[in-house]
């Protein structure tokens, strides 16, 4: 997985709030231990320590894995398996040269993401990505990513490794999407894709 940017969302601000919450929780736990020591007389409570750094690590882990999906934070959860119907277009007139099927597997946390596309002949993995909201209340979300593609071993005599770029627009409910892509550095082709979500992680 690699880092990705989310337009309109500040990870720095979230980090500050996690820091503030860590201090408050750590102080609350320390006061609770002191109160329990006074009430019970057990000195073990006065020696118990849970540092602010430890609390922050726990909160950050929870937010990075789970809490970012809460609708309040307005970060789209595009995790899961997407069924793809692809069309490679002609450079001369834009007509369909051939069609193909694939799956896209997206693994996403608050800080990192990876987009893996697999066909019967090759697979690609993203190495940069940005995610943002489209204009309008029903504008959906747009994902830009660059990828590296490698053919399956038995296809090396027909296909070349290459890099490419994809612009993928998800509907507002994150159930389907449409994409445009182009390849370079090894295979100069372009086309479009239609995506349907078939499994949500």
Residues 162, 181 contacting (CB under 8 angstroms): no
161: confidence class by pLDDT, cuts 50, 70, 90:
confident
Pick the CATH number of 80-199 from 1.10.340.30, 2.40.128.380, 3.90.870.10, 2.60.40.10: 2.40.128.380
Residues 131, 142 contacting (CB under 8 angstroms): yes
Quickly tell me which residue has 């001369």 as its tokens.
Answer: 92
Determine the Cα–Cα distance for residues 184 and 83; give it in Å rounded to an integer.
Answer: 24
Question: The pTM is what?
Answer: 0.84
Helix (H, G, I), strand (E, B) or coil at 166: strand
Closest to 181 (Cα-Cα) out of 170, 192, 169 = 192
Could you tell me the residue ranges of all domains in the chain?
7-73, 80-199
The per-residue pLDDT for range 82-97, each reduced to its tens digit, is 999 999 998 777 789 8
């Amino acid at each position: 997985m690699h880092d990705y940017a989310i337009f309109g969302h500040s990870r720095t601000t979230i980090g500050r709030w996690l820091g503030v919450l860590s201090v408050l929780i750590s102080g609350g736990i320390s006061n609770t231990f002191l109160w329990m020591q006074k009430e019970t007389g057990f000195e073990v409570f006065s020696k118990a320590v849970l540092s602010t750094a430890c609390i922050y690590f726990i909160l950050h882990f929870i937010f990075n894995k789970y809490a970012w999906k809460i609708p309040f934070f307005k970060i789209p959860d595009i995790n899961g398996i997407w069924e793809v119907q692809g069309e490679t277009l002609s450079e001369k007139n834009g007509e369909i040269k051939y069609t193909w099927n694939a799956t896209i597997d997206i693994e996403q946390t608050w800080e990192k993401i990876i987009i893996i596309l697999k066909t019967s002949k090759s697979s690609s993995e993203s190495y940069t990505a940005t995610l943002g909201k489209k204009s309008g209340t029903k504008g959906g979300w747009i994902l830009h990513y660059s990828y590296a593609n490698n053919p399956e071993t038995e296809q090396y005599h027909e296909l070349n490794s290459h890099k490419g770029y994809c612009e993928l627009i998800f509907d507002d409910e994150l159930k389907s999407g449409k994409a445009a892509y182009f390849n370079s550095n090894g295979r100069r082709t372009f086309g479009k894709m239609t995506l349907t979500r078939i499994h949500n992680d």
